A and B are shown apart, each in its own frame.
Chain A
Amino acid sequence: MRYSGFTWHDVVVLLQGLGVSVGLFLATTIIGLALGLAWATVRYYRTPVLAPLVAALAELLKNSPVLVQLFLVFFGLPVLLGADLTPVEAALITLSGNTAAFVYVIATSSIESVGHEQLETARVFGLSRWQTLRRVVAPQAAAFGFGPLTGLLINQLQVTSLISVIGVVDLTKVGAILNVRTLEPFLVWSVIGVLYYLMARLIARVCARAETRLRAHSEWKGL
């Protein structure tokens, strides 16, 4: 590759990278949320065997570096499966699992923040465990958990940049390519950084709006 200045085509490449990052972030967030909430439900029901298993899995995922997990999935899993994974597949699996582990932690602690008397009241009125979860516990837990969840999602957005090392052409990878070609590291990484920053702000904005709606019942509007 020859060194050369910026061209208009770079904008397209940059947008493609942005698209890959956003796409992976959204996909892993949705999968991670679904998985993490399912695990939290398993715990809520104190399902034998499954509940401790889920807890152990979450512990494992949140206490090891994402990069190591990524290598394990990308290089290690194919050995086990006997079939190669594409970088995008490996990224999807790793990031979804990681998000799920943290969603599980946030969800379980939020559920535990709901007053015990709320559960008892629902039981006394004859609500089933599932009805209690859906109508009484989950809405209150969601209000508690939304702040930590916002922080998690912003962090997980930044974490997506790690997948560039296994060859996914995300925003960071595009940055690396442009950097090598143009030899303009300050400019390139500034632009990349600003793009991540803007995405993070967008996530925070969307989450704040949702949280306000969830807390509509409370007199306390935050600091």
Chain B
Amino acid sequence: MIQLDGVIKRFGANTVLDGIDLRIAPGEVVSILGASGSGKSTLIRCLNGLERLDAGAISVDGARIDTPAGLQAARRACATVFQLFNLYPHMTALQNVTLAPVEVLKVPRRQAEEAARALLASVGLGERADAYPAQLSGGQRQRVGICRALAMKPRYLLLDEVTSALDPEMTAEVLAILAKLAHEGTTMLFVTHEIEFARQISSRIVFLEQGRLLADLPTAQFFAPDGGLAQPRIAQFLSKMSKS
């Protein structure tokens, strides 16, 4: 269980997260929607321990991230896929995937490479294992990014606008993989602008607006006229996003 209690994060005078309470249980796929600047990415950064909280607490399976040991445990439980891929440019696809398992989880190199090749093959990159990120397309890079996260065998997969830097065709190839993962029961926290896709794969939808949770509802209810859509701000956002 990922647990956020009263999380507040400020940058100077700007309150980016304003008292967030959120629970994500194993097996859930939770999508976080919201306009740019609503605090979605900051939420992920806080979960990853990259930002210091101004108030509140975050814990992952009981490990509070405000202690070094807790943070280390939380980071092992979660794995992140980044908006701009953040692959290591000096390493091949295979090396990108095996680095953390070998260094952090102490998996024997050969075993890690076998697992990585299997993962890369499962996303259609079996032939590109020895390519450097610069030699891959955006969609291929993000698929490597997903493999890198999955190689850590995380209990929670954090996805931070993973298709925002991709064109529609590449977006489709990445989303297909995520749909498969959701289907297999991977627990995911999915920060996205892909509303239609979020609707298909999520068990719950969270709507962020200026650092506050405007809605935290089961997917069907979120899109129901008497549910999330009853809130004017959400209705406005959804209609605007579906037009574009």
Contact = CB atoms under 8 A, between A and B. Distances in A.
A70 to B, nearest CB: 39
Given A125-B100, A125-B152, A136 B75 contact: no
Contact of B48 (A124, A131, A139): A124
B162 to A, nearest CB: 14
A218 B89 contact: yes
Contacts of A121: 80, 82, 86, 88
B75 A126 contact: yes
Contact of B99 (A124, A125, A216, A217): A125
B13 interface: no
A217 B134 contact: yes
A105 B46 CA distance: 33
10 contacts: A120-B48, A125-B99, A125-B100, A125-B104, A125-B148, A126-B75, A127-B100, A127-B103, A217-B92, A219-B135
Interface residues of B, number: 26
B100 A126 contact: yes
A219 B89 CA distance: 10
A124 B89 CA distance: 17
Contacts of B84: 117
A117 B103 contact: no
Interface string A169-199: 0000000000000000000000000000000
Interface of A: 117-118, 120-121, 123-127, 131, 135-136, 139-140, 143, 216-219
Query: Which of B49, B50, B103 gathers most chain A CB within 10 Å?
Result: B103
B88 A136 contact: yes
B76 interface: yes
A139 B133 CA distance: 15
B134 A125 contact: no
Nearest to B74: A126
Contacts of B80: 121, 124
Given A124-B48, A125-B75, A217 B91 contact: yes
A126 B72 contact: yes
A117 B76 contact: no
Contacts of A131: 103-104
Contact of A217 (B50, B90, B104, B148): B90
Nearest to B72: A126
B76 A126 contact: yes
A117 B82 contact: yes
A126 to B, nearest CB: 4
A221 B205 CA distance: 46
B29 interface: no
B132 interface: yes
A130 to B, nearest CB: 10
A124 B132 contact: no
A133 B24 CA distance: 33
B214 to A, nearest CB: 28
Given A125-B75, A126-B72, A126-B104, A219 B134 contact: yes
Interface in B67-93: 72, 75-76, 79-80, 82, 84, 86, 88-92
Given A124-B80, A217-B132, A118 B72 contact: no
B196 to A, nearest CB: 29
Interface string B27-52: 00000000000000000000011100
A136 to B, nearest CB: 6
A125 B152 CA distance: 8
A117 B133 CA distance: 15
Interface in B144-183: 148, 152
Contact of B86 (A118, A127, A218, A219): A118
Given A125-B100, A125-B104, A126-B104, A140 B90 contact: yes
Interface string B87-127: 01111100000011001100000000000000000000000
Nearest to B151: A125
